[in-house]
Protein backbone atom coordinates (compact mmCIF):
# COMPACT_ATOMS: atom_id res chain seq x y z
CA UNK A 1 0.00 0.00 0.00
CA UNK A 2 2.79 2.36 0.90
CA UNK A 3 4.53 1.35 -2.29
CA UNK A 4 1.48 2.23 -4.46
CA UNK A 5 0.99 5.59 -2.76
CA UNK A 6 4.67 6.50 -3.28
CA UNK A 7 4.44 5.59 -7.00
CA UNK A 8 1.34 7.78 -7.45
CA UNK A 9 3.07 10.67 -5.71
CA UNK A 10 6.16 10.37 -7.92
CA UNK A 11 4.04 10.19 -11.08
CA UNK A 12 2.05 13.29 -10.12
CA UNK A 13 5.22 15.21 -9.24
CA UNK A 14 6.89 14.29 -12.57
CA UNK A 15 3.84 15.40 -14.61
CA UNK A 16 3.72 18.69 -12.72
CA UNK A 17 7.43 19.25 -13.31
CA UNK A 18 7.12 18.37 -17.01
CA UNK A 19 4.17 20.75 -17.44
CA UNK A 20 6.12 23.63 -15.86
CA UNK A 21 9.23 22.98 -17.97
CA UNK A 22 7.25 22.85 -21.22
CA UNK A 23 5.48 26.05 -20.25
CA UNK A 24 8.81 27.80 -19.67
CA UNK A 25 10.12 26.43 -22.97
CA UNK A 26 7.24 27.79 -25.06
CA UNK A 27 7.30 31.06 -23.14
CA UNK A 28 11.02 31.48 -23.91
CA UNK A 29 10.55 30.68 -27.58
CA UNK A 30 7.66 33.10 -28.07
CA UNK A 31 9.18 36.00 -26.14
CA UNK A 32 10.11 39.04 -28.27
CA UNK A 33 13.79 38.86 -27.32
CA UNK A 34 14.20 35.25 -28.43
CA UNK A 35 12.09 35.82 -31.53
CA UNK A 36 14.55 38.53 -32.61
CA UNK A 37 17.43 36.16 -31.93
CA UNK A 38 15.84 33.50 -34.15
CA UNK A 39 15.32 36.00 -36.96
CA UNK A 40 18.87 37.31 -36.70
CA UNK A 41 20.31 33.80 -36.71
CA UNK A 42 18.36 32.99 -39.88
CA UNK A 43 19.43 36.24 -41.55
CA UNK A 44 23.12 35.53 -40.85
CA UNK A 45 23.00 32.02 -42.24
CA UNK A 46 26.06 31.12 -44.30
CA UNK A 47 26.03 29.76 -47.85
CA UNK A 48 29.47 28.36 -48.59
CA UNK A 49 31.98 31.15 -48.02
CA UNK A 50 29.25 33.80 -48.03
CA UNK A 51 27.87 35.08 -44.73
CA UNK A 52 25.52 37.85 -43.69
CA UNK A 53 22.17 39.13 -44.87
CA UNK A 54 23.26 39.23 -48.52
CA UNK A 55 24.93 35.79 -48.47
CA UNK A 56 22.19 34.06 -50.46
CA UNK A 57 22.30 36.73 -53.20
CA UNK A 58 26.06 36.37 -53.71
CA UNK A 59 25.71 32.59 -53.54
CA UNK A 60 23.15 32.55 -56.38
CA UNK A 61 25.12 35.06 -58.49
CA UNK A 62 28.38 33.13 -58.09
CA UNK A 63 26.70 29.82 -58.92
CA UNK A 64 24.97 31.26 -62.00
CA UNK A 65 28.10 32.95 -63.37
CA UNK A 66 30.17 29.82 -62.80
CA UNK A 67 27.69 27.50 -64.51
CA UNK A 68 27.34 29.77 -67.55
CA UNK A 69 30.84 31.19 -67.79
CA UNK A 70 32.94 28.05 -67.32
CA UNK A 71 32.02 26.22 -70.57
CA UNK A 72 31.83 29.42 -72.64
CA UNK A 73 35.21 30.67 -71.43
CA UNK A 74 36.88 27.35 -72.24
CA UNK A 75 35.35 27.39 -75.74
CA UNK A 76 36.46 30.99 -76.32
CA UNK A 77 40.05 30.21 -75.25
CA UNK A 78 40.29 27.26 -77.63
CA UNK A 79 38.76 29.31 -80.45
CA UNK A 80 41.14 32.23 -79.94
CA UNK A 81 44.11 29.87 -79.99
CA UNK A 82 43.62 29.53 -83.75
CA UNK A 83 43.99 33.29 -84.14
CA UNK A 84 47.29 33.23 -82.24
CA UNK A 85 48.64 30.62 -84.66
CA UNK A 86 47.92 33.11 -87.47
CA UNK A 87 50.21 35.70 -85.80
CA UNK A 88 47.27 37.62 -84.30
CA UNK A 89 48.97 39.36 -81.38
CA UNK A 90 45.82 40.82 -79.83
CA UNK A 91 44.44 37.31 -79.45
CA UNK A 92 47.20 36.49 -76.94
CA UNK A 93 46.11 39.29 -74.64
CA UNK A 94 42.45 38.31 -74.88
CA UNK A 95 43.35 34.69 -74.07
CA UNK A 96 45.19 35.83 -70.95
CA UNK A 97 42.20 37.99 -70.04
CA UNK A 98 39.95 34.93 -70.34
CA UNK A 99 42.39 32.91 -68.21
CA UNK A 100 41.98 35.47 -65.42
CA UNK A 101 38.22 35.08 -65.83
CA UNK A 102 38.67 31.31 -65.56
CA UNK A 103 40.53 31.78 -62.26
CA UNK A 104 37.70 33.95 -60.96
CA UNK A 105 35.13 31.33 -61.98
CA UNK A 106 37.11 28.62 -60.18
CA UNK A 107 37.12 30.85 -57.09
CA UNK A 108 33.32 31.13 -57.36
CA UNK A 109 32.95 27.36 -57.55
CA UNK A 110 35.16 26.74 -54.51
CA UNK A 111 33.52 29.53 -52.48
CA UNK A 112 30.11 28.00 -53.19
CA UNK A 113 31.21 24.45 -52.35
CA UNK A 114 33.17 24.89 -49.10
CA UNK A 115 32.73 26.65 -45.77
CA UNK A 116 36.27 26.84 -44.37
CA UNK A 117 37.19 30.29 -43.06
CA UNK A 118 40.92 30.07 -43.78
CA UNK A 119 40.43 28.87 -47.36
CA UNK A 120 37.65 31.40 -47.92
CA UNK A 121 39.88 34.27 -46.78
CA UNK A 122 42.68 33.16 -49.11
CA UNK A 123 40.25 32.95 -52.04
CA UNK A 124 38.52 36.23 -51.24
CA UNK A 125 41.43 38.49 -50.38
CA UNK A 126 44.32 37.05 -52.38
CA UNK A 127 43.42 34.83 -55.34
CA UNK A 128 40.19 36.52 -56.45
CA UNK A 129 41.45 40.08 -55.95
CA UNK A 130 44.72 39.25 -57.74
CA UNK A 131 42.81 37.75 -60.68
CA UNK A 132 40.68 40.90 -60.92
CA UNK A 133 43.79 43.10 -60.90
CA UNK A 134 45.44 41.04 -63.65
CA UNK A 135 42.20 41.16 -65.63
CA UNK A 136 42.14 44.97 -65.50
CA UNK A 137 45.80 45.11 -66.51
CA UNK A 138 45.11 43.03 -69.61
CA UNK A 139 42.19 45.28 -70.50
CA UNK A 140 44.63 48.21 -70.50
CA UNK A 141 47.12 46.20 -72.60
CA UNK A 142 44.41 45.36 -75.17
CA UNK A 143 43.46 49.03 -75.45
CA UNK A 144 47.13 50.02 -75.77
CA UNK A 145 47.71 47.46 -78.52
CA UNK A 146 44.73 48.71 -80.52
CA UNK A 147 45.90 52.31 -80.04
CA UNK A 148 49.41 51.53 -81.32
CA UNK A 149 47.99 49.79 -84.41
CA UNK A 150 46.35 53.05 -85.47
CA UNK A 151 48.45 55.85 -83.96
CA UNK A 152 51.94 54.35 -84.53
CA UNK A 153 51.45 51.78 -87.29
CA UNK A 154 55.00 51.68 -88.72
CA UNK A 155 56.75 51.64 -85.34
CA UNK A 156 54.44 48.96 -84.00
CA UNK A 157 54.54 46.80 -87.13
CA UNK A 158 58.28 46.16 -86.80
CA UNK A 159 58.14 45.53 -83.06
CA UNK A 160 55.09 43.37 -82.51
CA UNK A 161 55.63 39.63 -82.36
CA UNK A 162 54.37 36.68 -80.38
CA UNK A 163 57.60 36.64 -78.36
CA UNK A 164 57.17 40.28 -77.34
CA UNK A 165 53.54 39.64 -76.44
CA UNK A 166 54.50 36.71 -74.21
CA UNK A 167 57.04 38.91 -72.39
CA UNK A 168 54.37 41.57 -71.84
CA UNK A 169 51.98 38.92 -70.51
CA UNK A 170 54.62 37.64 -68.08
CA UNK A 171 55.22 41.17 -66.74
CA UNK A 172 51.48 41.74 -66.32
CA UNK A 173 51.08 38.50 -64.36
CA UNK A 174 53.96 39.49 -62.08
CA UNK A 175 52.69 43.02 -61.32
CA UNK A 176 49.99 42.02 -58.78
CA UNK A 177 52.60 40.08 -56.80
CA UNK A 178 53.94 43.46 -55.71
CA UNK A 179 50.67 44.01 -53.87
CA UNK A 180 50.83 40.79 -51.85
CA UNK A 181 52.27 42.53 -48.73
CA UNK A 182 49.24 44.80 -48.85
CA UNK A 183 46.91 41.87 -48.14
CA UNK A 184 48.84 40.92 -45.01
CA UNK A 185 49.85 44.31 -43.63
CA UNK A 186 47.35 46.68 -45.25
CA UNK A 187 44.95 46.72 -42.33
CA UNK A 188 42.49 49.61 -42.55
CA UNK A 189 44.14 50.90 -45.74
CA UNK A 190 43.47 47.74 -47.74
CA UNK A 191 40.26 48.96 -49.38
CA UNK A 192 41.78 52.37 -50.13
CA UNK A 193 44.75 50.72 -51.84
CA UNK A 194 42.42 48.52 -53.91
CA UNK A 195 40.42 51.60 -54.95
CA UNK A 196 43.59 53.43 -56.05
CA UNK A 197 44.70 50.43 -58.11
CA UNK A 198 41.30 50.11 -59.76
CA UNK A 199 41.22 53.83 -60.60
CA UNK A 200 44.62 53.93 -62.31
CA UNK A 201 43.42 52.41 -65.64
CA UNK A 202 40.55 54.89 -65.99
CA UNK A 203 42.55 57.84 -67.49
CA UNK A 204 44.60 55.42 -69.60
CA UNK A 205 41.51 53.86 -71.18
CA UNK A 206 40.07 57.30 -71.91
CA UNK A 207 43.36 58.41 -73.51
CA UNK A 208 43.62 55.30 -75.70
CA UNK A 209 40.00 55.59 -76.83
CA UNK A 210 40.16 59.31 -77.68
CA UNK A 211 43.61 58.95 -79.28
CA UNK A 212 42.43 56.06 -81.44
CA UNK A 213 39.33 57.92 -82.62
CA UNK A 214 41.45 60.96 -83.47
CA UNK A 215 44.00 58.86 -85.36
CA UNK A 216 41.32 56.92 -87.26
CA UNK A 217 39.70 60.12 -88.48
CA UNK A 218 43.01 61.24 -90.01
CA UNK A 219 44.30 57.96 -91.46
CA UNK A 220 43.22 56.39 -94.74
CA UNK A 221 45.48 53.34 -94.77
CA UNK A 222 43.33 51.33 -92.35
CA UNK A 223 40.43 49.45 -94.03
CA UNK A 224 36.88 50.26 -92.97
CA UNK A 225 36.28 46.81 -91.50
CA UNK A 226 39.39 47.04 -89.34
CA UNK A 227 38.39 50.52 -88.19
CA UNK A 228 35.05 49.17 -87.01
CA UNK A 229 36.71 46.31 -85.20
CA UNK A 230 39.28 48.55 -83.45
CA UNK A 231 36.67 51.07 -82.31
CA UNK A 232 34.26 48.38 -81.15
CA UNK A 233 36.94 46.65 -79.05
CA UNK A 234 38.07 49.90 -77.42
CA UNK A 235 34.52 51.02 -76.65
CA UNK A 236 33.65 47.58 -75.29
CA UNK A 237 36.72 47.48 -73.01
CA UNK A 238 35.90 50.94 -71.68
CA UNK A 239 32.27 50.02 -71.03
CA UNK A 240 33.22 46.78 -69.25
CA UNK A 241 35.64 48.64 -67.01
CA UNK A 242 33.18 51.45 -66.27
CA UNK A 243 30.15 49.26 -65.54
CA UNK A 244 31.88 46.36 -63.78
CA UNK A 245 34.75 47.86 -61.79
CA UNK A 246 33.96 51.49 -61.01
CA UNK A 247 31.13 50.46 -58.62
CA UNK A 248 33.74 48.43 -56.73
CA UNK A 249 35.80 51.63 -56.36
CA UNK A 250 32.77 53.36 -54.88
CA UNK A 251 32.42 50.53 -52.36
CA UNK A 252 36.07 50.84 -51.31
CA UNK A 253 35.85 54.60 -50.83
CA UNK A 254 32.41 54.76 -49.15
CA UNK A 255 33.50 53.44 -45.76
CA UNK A 256 30.30 54.44 -43.94
CA UNK A 257 28.03 52.44 -46.28
CA UNK A 258 29.91 49.14 -46.46
CA UNK A 259 27.71 47.53 -43.81
CA UNK A 260 24.55 48.19 -45.85
CA UNK A 261 23.57 44.90 -47.58
CA UNK A 262 21.83 46.62 -50.51
CA UNK A 263 24.80 48.92 -51.11
CA UNK A 264 27.15 45.94 -51.00
CA UNK A 265 25.07 43.98 -53.49
CA UNK A 266 24.83 46.90 -55.93
CA UNK A 267 28.56 47.71 -55.87
CA UNK A 268 30.11 44.23 -55.56
CA UNK A 269 27.83 42.14 -57.80
CA UNK A 270 28.97 43.77 -61.12
CA UNK A 271 32.49 42.42 -60.55
CA UNK A 272 31.02 38.90 -60.52
CA UNK A 273 29.59 39.44 -64.02
CA UNK A 274 32.89 40.64 -65.54
CA UNK A 275 33.86 37.12 -66.76
CA UNK A 276 30.66 36.98 -68.80
CA UNK A 277 31.18 40.51 -70.15
CA UNK A 278 34.72 39.68 -71.28
CA UNK A 279 33.33 36.91 -73.47
CA UNK A 280 31.86 39.58 -75.73
CA UNK A 281 35.44 40.57 -76.65
CA UNK A 282 35.80 37.20 -78.33
CA UNK A 283 32.86 38.07 -80.59
CA UNK A 284 34.51 41.30 -81.71
CA UNK A 285 37.87 39.61 -82.22
CA UNK A 286 36.27 37.67 -85.06
CA UNK A 287 36.19 40.10 -87.97
CA UNK A 288 33.18 38.61 -89.73
CA UNK A 289 30.89 38.61 -86.69
CA UNK A 290 31.77 42.14 -85.57
CA UNK A 291 31.44 43.55 -89.08
CA UNK A 292 28.03 41.96 -89.61
CA UNK A 293 26.70 43.24 -86.28
CA UNK A 294 27.92 46.79 -86.83
CA UNK A 295 26.85 46.85 -90.50
CA UNK A 296 23.39 45.61 -89.55
CA UNK A 297 23.07 48.25 -86.83
CA UNK A 298 24.22 51.08 -89.09
CA UNK A 299 21.94 49.92 -91.91
CA UNK A 300 18.89 49.77 -89.65
CA UNK A 301 19.60 53.27 -88.34
CA UNK A 302 19.96 54.53 -91.92
CA UNK A 303 16.68 52.83 -92.90
CA UNK A 304 14.83 54.47 -90.01
CA UNK A 305 16.26 57.91 -90.83
CA UNK A 306 15.27 57.52 -94.49
CA UNK A 307 11.76 56.41 -93.54
CA UNK A 308 11.24 59.37 -91.21
CA UNK A 309 12.49 61.86 -93.79
CA UNK A 310 10.22 60.36 -96.44
CA UNK A 311 7.15 60.85 -94.26
CA UNK A 312 7.71 64.62 -94.24
CA UNK A 313 7.78 64.87 -98.03
CA UNK A 314 4.71 66.15 -99.79
CA UNK A 315 5.06 64.12 -102.95
CA UNK A 316 3.56 60.64 -102.75
CA UNK A 317 4.23 59.56 -106.30
CA UNK A 318 4.86 55.83 -106.51
CA UNK A 319 7.70 56.13 -109.02
CA UNK A 320 9.59 58.99 -107.35
CA UNK A 321 13.38 58.63 -107.10
CA UNK A 322 13.27 59.01 -103.30
CA UNK A 323 10.88 56.11 -102.93
CA UNK A 324 12.98 54.00 -105.29
CA UNK A 325 16.12 54.71 -103.25
CA UNK A 326 14.27 53.87 -100.08
CA UNK A 327 13.12 50.52 -101.49
CA UNK A 328 16.68 49.70 -102.55
CA UNK A 329 17.97 50.56 -99.08
CA UNK A 330 15.33 48.36 -97.43
CA UNK A 331 16.36 45.45 -99.67
CA UNK A 332 19.99 45.91 -98.58
CA UNK A 333 18.94 45.93 -94.96
CA UNK A 334 16.99 42.71 -95.43
CA UNK A 335 20.08 41.06 -96.93
CA UNK A 336 22.20 42.16 -93.98
Task: List C-alpha distances in Å: 150 to 36, 52, 68.
Answer: 63, 49, 35
What does the chain come to in residues?
A: 336
Mean pLDDT of the chain: 76
Digitized pLDDT (tens) for each residue of the chain, 336 residues in all? 444 344 444 444 444 444 444 444 334 444 444 433 433 444 457 788 988 888 899 999 999 999 999 999 999 998 888 777 666 777 889 999 999 999 999 999 999 998 888 888 888 878 898 899 999 999 999 999 989 988 888 888 888 888 888 999 999 999 877 777 776 666 667 778 888 888 999 999 999 999 999 988 887 777 777 788 888 889 999 999 999 999 999 998 888 888 888 999 999 999 999 999 999 888 777 655 555 655 565 555 555 555 555 454 544 444 444 454 445 545 544 554
Other C-beta atoms within 10 Å of 298: how many? 13
Residue pair 269/229 in contact (Cβ under 8 Å)? The answer is no
pTM for this structure? 0.74
pLDDT digits (tens, 9 = 90+) for 182-220: 766 666 677 788 888 889 999 999 999 999 999 888 877
Residue pair 274/244 in contact (Cβ under 8 Å)? The answer is yes
Residue pair 119/110 in contact (Cβ under 8 Å)? The answer is yes
Rounded-to-integer distance, Cα 225 and Cα 275, Å: 27
Say what the alpha-carbon torsion angle 304, 305, 306, 310 is, to the nearest 10 degrees: 100
pLDDT digits (tens, 9 = 90+) for 289-331: 555 655 565 555 555 555 555 454 544 444 444 454 445 545 5
Residue 47 bridge partners (DSSP): 50
Amino acid sequence: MCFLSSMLFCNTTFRHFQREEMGHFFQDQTSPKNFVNVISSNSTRSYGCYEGEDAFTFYVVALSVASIGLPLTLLAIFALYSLVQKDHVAGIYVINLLITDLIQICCFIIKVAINNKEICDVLRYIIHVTAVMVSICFMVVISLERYLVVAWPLWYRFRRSIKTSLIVCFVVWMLPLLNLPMFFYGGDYLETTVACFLLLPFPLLIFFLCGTLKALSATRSVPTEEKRQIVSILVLVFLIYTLMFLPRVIYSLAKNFRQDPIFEIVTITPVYFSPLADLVLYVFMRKGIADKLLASLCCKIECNDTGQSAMHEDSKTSGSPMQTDREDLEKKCEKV
